[in-house]
Amino acid sequence: MPLIALRQLLDAAADGGYGVGAFNVNNMEQIQAIMEAARETQSPVIVQASRGARSYTNDRFLFHLMAAAAELYPEIPVVLHQDHGNSPETCISAIELGFTSVMMDGSLLEDGKTPADFEHNVRVTREVVEHAHARGVSVEGELGTLGGIEDGVGSGEVHLTDPDQAVEFVERTGIDALAVAIGTSHGAYKFSRPPDGEVLSMNLIEEIHSKLPDTHLVMHGSSSVPKDLVDAINEYGGAMQPTWGVPIEEIQQGIRHGVRKINVDTDLRLAMTGAIRKVFAEEPDEFDPRSYLKPARAAMQRVVAERMVQFGQAGHAPELEAKPLEEMQALYA
């Protein structure tokens, strides 16, 4: 299936000055929602699967669903990306499965929880880069750990990405894209008040970009957690606490300073859950799964399409033709 490499897409995004959303998937409806949003907005897109998603779909379902997506949406350039690979083995198995991009998250040990030291991170990331680039596959690395400020671990500051260390990390690993820790965290509960310069270090992005102008930066934990999506869940029986996510304007500021890949999962989960709760609340006699999965898919499509416009990738699909991975391999060689 003709998937595009992350490196090719992010190089184009850098030339065009736009960002590209990387949306997490776990099932058919989510893949359909993303592909329909991409077609609606004529966007290239990054579809990503976590380790949890790969085990949930038993890999083969995921692979064949993505093959169907590539077949049904031939005009949409799609990257298939491993999100948060915890070890070289995870990344290598993703490459064998046909992913065109992998994240080696060596900021944490293999358990995906314990912060790793710099040398461990360099070692595992370099190992993945050598394996991946020899096959034309792109690699994202991460330096610093997410959730540094409000997760109650340490002082917070020490987990943010250090710009000088970032330069050394990129030089020693040869990665295509660098995920930076600037104070965001995964999930719905990122901030307990609207984030300002105190809790979100957007200035770090500018500093890292000025030192590494040719490295594509990645923002994880970039859901905006819109109030209307949280309210919809609560209106139909949910019990979510007040919470704030990453404002779109902050992401757009990042895009002006080298951010090219923006990871969004939570907003999609919120949209689907609100839509499903609404059907359950309003039509308690309904039991056909399609009656709630269809509105859930449509709600997710709306959020994805909105982000595609906000990140600037909308309209750029027709400009891109996926280079075969052999061509990418030759570029690295």
Residues near ligand G3H (CB under 6 A) are 24, 50, 52-53, 83-84, 186, 265
220 binds Zn ion (CB under 5 A): yes
**Amino acid at residue number 310:** Q
Q: Closest approach of Cβ 124 to ligand 13P, in Å?
A: 18
Q: β-strand 177-180 against 138-143: which pairing, if any?
A: parallel
First to last CA, the chain: 23
DSSP single-letter state for residue 145? -
Of the candidates 63, 69, 81, 38, the one whose C-alpha atom is nearest the C-alpha of residue 220 is 81
By rule CB under 6 A, what string of x and - marks binding of each residue 64-103 to ligand 13P? -------------------xx-------------------
Judged by CB under 6 A, does residue 186 bind ligand 13P?
yes
CB-nearest residue to Zn ion: 220
Closer CB to ligand G3H, 263 or 310, in the complex: 263
Between 50 and 201, CB nearer to ligand G3H: 50
Residues with active-site annotation: 83
Backbone phi, psi, residue 15, to 5°:
-60, -40
Residue bearing tokens 């293999």: 110
Q: Under the criterion CB under 6 A, does residue 54 sit at the interface with ligand 13P?
A: no
324 by Cβ neighbours in 10 Å (0-12 / 13-18 / 19+) ranks as exposed
Burial tier of 290 (Cβ tally within 10 Å: 0-12, 13-18, 19+): exposed
> What is the three-class DSSP state of 202?
helix
Segment contacting Zn ion by CB under 5 A, of 7-15, 134-142, 238-246, 256-264: 256-264
Q: Which two tokens stand for residue 25?
A: 């998937």
- Residue 274 in the binding site for ligand 13P (CB under 6 A): no
Residue 53 contacts which entry, ligand 13P, Zn ion, ligand G3H, none (Cβ below 5-8 A, type-dependent):
ligand G3H
Q: Which residues bind ligand 13P (CB under 6 A)?
A: 24, 83-84, 186-187, 220-223, 263-266
Q: Which residues bind Zn ion (CB under 5 A)?
A: 220, 263
